[in-house]
Structure 1
């Protein structure tokens, strides 16, 4: 195509200034005095830098002969990083070459933009950097005036998934699951991390046993034998798989889930005691409201109760009472609730002292008059006796992994969900610096 004469008139000072602003180091790109303008591009006012790309071609790219002549110029609109929230473009006129032997034509090339691409490498890199932050791909697309598909292409091209060495596994593993995307094969995704460093080891799109077994059996038997400790929740299916795949590993139940099991059992009994109160009795209605409002007090450990400080409690006629006095009244409402509370506190004390012998002795000697639902939930812990004993004997817990799960929830919430597991997985690994920009 024809090109205006003033564009060919290179101004060294202007060219040097613009190249410093745009961080262009290609000596074949030049600018004239009138290189900067404001124009409407794609329906929006934009900053436009008009430049010229020249160069030399010794041989034809297609046939290899040296019968090359200069042909014409071809213009292209290259999108740059926005300046002051305004879209910015490089209107670049590229020198065309023609082969007299095979009659093919081709353009001069520059590192500043990939071949057959209209987005500068600098803009792609800026998008890649933003992908490491807690921000949705839609917001990144809006920030740089590109499409969401462009952001996805940058995600796929700038980051490479880490390759696992099949001869290595962390010595201590933390495993858990989280809700995945609609294209996952299983209902939940599986995450595994190193217990010593807290670093995510891998994320799978399925937590079913046969999938996990197939995944871990890819690793050498020597690597699997080096795994000595695994921490999980009370999912029995994991227990069967891990014993088969990791022959030397001790299984521990995460301590949080053990406490949660006991707390939920006692809290259910509190709700049951509330529901048994007669709604027609005014005093029973008051007790109902007290059990409902002060649920935190009744679930709190004895060691954390306040026995000395007085404060007003609205449902106790705004009298000044200690927290322990409020607790005594709540437990006096129901005898079975008081009995369960005593067992609940004894179990918590033994657990905090890491005395697994006393802990299981208490479970084995539960009173016959104890609430049936509470008793059943507590006795369920006997099923995991070995794993609970290991959790009290060894210092490993799923705390680090639960933090990663919270991060995953934040990433999903900010992005309003992900369509594909691959993109969700990549965003998690990128945010954790496991995938680096290539």
Structure 2
């Protein structure tokens, strides 16, 4: 599309108005008369602005010859269609005519350049910036592409090129660490990914694609011994493999088991015994089957802390002939079904009470003095906590927990679910860091 001398004339007021509208600060770019038109591009009716980019170059970028005595001459105009941020949900473009130049010294030709769009690129920098900002939100990259009328791959390229990952500093580690794992992508070598967070701020420190011990040991040994000695506390779950590498890498760190996982161990053990009691009830006995249904329906009542049981409010419970009874009466009936279940319930409640009051001595005294006739499965699960005696005591003595990190894990699940999964761990990791504001915009 050639430019005539008439439409190449600069319209001062119109040009300044459109440049303010499009946020163009390049003085070498201007707009011509009647700059806005409606055209169909890629099957969509679009807004198209027409502009010209021209200036006098100071030197040749190919040979470096200084432009003196008409060493560099104007050659022609090159038309390029640059995509802008959509206006009122309508695709918007800038048809920019770039001045071409020819160097007499080396016979090389080159085009005029502007800061509004990168060389050999047809997407404006403001549009890339808008996409980069949207990558911080909980929205899939496909939806971002549809919003700005670009492809998924374009959004992916912006994610790769517009964000700078945090720089590795071998001399710094947070004094208190939270560690955990989450399900990664198919290209990860291990089954689970590893995440490290600062216990004081809750900020993600780093995300690794593998949680195996030799990988974790190799990663943390990149930090100086001085930095690793400053780590005084680490909170984790009851994964036995973590404690071995933690002791080797962090010589002065105290290990705490997250309190949630201790309670989870107790409740799961008691819940398994409830299911075992249900399965032992005779199917031929009608009364036993009624108890079966009650144990199945009101399992939450059995897992509740004793102080949270309601003793006064009357309610209708469907499996109690819709009689008005209290929650405590329902609990009493459930515990009469099996004597072993009642005995385990009393131990379960005692452990919950001592754990809530942070009485670690009473907690482990109760575990050490478990009755011999206690249900074997329940007893085995409770005795497993003795392997983490010191770590559980630290959890009760100190206020650190994995609560902040579990929140980050939930956020990661949301990001993965919205995106319908990620193909590569690199993009998953980068998207998490961007969403958390840990990556700088380039």
Could you state the TM-score of these two structures normalised by the residue count of structure 1? 0.98
**Among residues 89, 94, 99, which one is paired with 2:93 in the alignment?**
89
Give distance in 1, aligned partners of 2:59 and 2:440: 37
Measure the CA separation in 1 of the matches of 2:115 and 2:376. Answer: 74
- CA gap of 1:63–1:164, structure 2 versus 1, over 3 A, is closer
- 1-structure distance, mates of 2:231, 2:300: 40
Q: How does 1:278-293 map to 2 (within 5 A)?
A: 278-293=282-297
1:7, distance to aligned residue in structure 2 (A)? 2.4
| Structure 1 unaligned spans of 5+ | none
Describe the SS at the equivalent of 2:441. Answer: coil
Alignment of 1:8-27 (within 5 A): 8-27=8-27
C-alpha distance after superposition, 1:331-375 (max 9, x if no partner)? 001111011000100111111111111111111111111111101
Secondary structure of residue in 2 paired with 1:7: coil
* 1:418 aligned partner: 422
* Greater CA drift, 316-325 or 14-23: 14-23
Structure 2 residue ranges without an equivalent (≥5): none
The structural deviation recorded for 1:32 is 2.0
CA–CA distance in 2 between the matches of 1:331 and 1:239?
39
Cα shift at 1:5: 3.6
Question: Is it true that 1:63 corresponds to 2:67 in the alignment?
Answer: no
Shift of 1:152: 1.3
When residues 396 and 35 of structure 1 are mapped into structure 2, their CA distance, relative to the original with a 3 A threshold, is same
Native 8 Å contact 1:312 1:319 kept in 2: yes
Q: Give runs of aligned pairs for residues 239-250 of structure 1, distance below 5 A.
A: 239-250=243-254
Deviation at 1:316, TM superposition (A): 0.5
1:50-199 equivalence runs, <5 A: 50-65=50-65, 66=67, 67-199=71-203
- Give, in whole Å, the separation in 2 of the partners of 1:33 and 1:306: 79
Alpha-carbon distance, 1:181 to partner: 0.7
2:158 is paired with a residue whose SS is helix
Deviation, structure 1 residue 9: 2.3
* CA positional deviation for 1:164: 2.4
Would the aligned equivalents of 1:96 and 1:106 in 2 still touch at CA under 8 Å?
yes
- Does the residue aligned with 1:95 lie in a helix, a strand or coil? strand
Structure 2 counterpart SS, 1:8? coil
Q: CA-to-partner distance for each residue in 1:53-90, whole Å, 9 max, x for gaps? A: 11111322212233111111110000000111111100
Tell me the distance in 1 between the aligned counterparts of 2:352 and 2:59: 81
1:128 Cα deviation (Å)? Answer: 0.5
The answer for the alignment partner of 2:431 in structure 1 is: 427
User: Is residue 358 of structure 2 the alignment partner of residue 354 of structure 1?
Assistant: yes
CA contact (8 A) 1:2 1:72 kept: no
> Which residue in the other structure is 1:268 paired with?
272
- 1:375-420 CA-to-partner distances (Å, cap 9, x unmatched) read 1111111111111111111111101100000000001000111111
Q: Is the 8 A contact 1:29 1:52 kept in 2?
A: yes
On the 8 A contact 1:7/1:51 being kept in 2, the answer is no
Deviates more, 1:329-338 or 1:19-28: 19-28
Aligned counterpart, 1:41: 41
Between the aligned partners of 1:6 and 1:211, the Cα distance in structure 2 is 68
Specify the alignment match of 1:227 in structure 2: 231
- The SS at the match of 2:78 is strand
Structure 1 contact 184–421 (Cα < 8 Å) conserved:
yes
| Separation of aligned partners in 1, 2:104 and 2:253 | 72
CA distance in 2, matches of 1:81, 1:89: 8
* Structure 1 equivalent of residue 306 of structure 2: 302
2:411 — aligned with what? 407
Hey, what does 1:368 align to over in structure 2? 372
Alpha carbons 1:7, 1:35 under 8 Å: kept: no
CA distance, structure 1, for counterparts of residue 149 and residue 213 of structure 2: 44
The 1-side partners of 2:177 and 2:302 are apart by 35
Quick one: distance in 2 between partners of 1:118 and 1:6? 26
2:244 match: secondary structure: helix
8 Å Cα contact 1:80-1:120 kept in structure 2: yes
| Count of aligned residue pairs for this structure pair | 438
1:209 pairs with one of 187, 195, 213: 213
Could you tell me how far 1:4 is from its partner in structure 2? 3.2
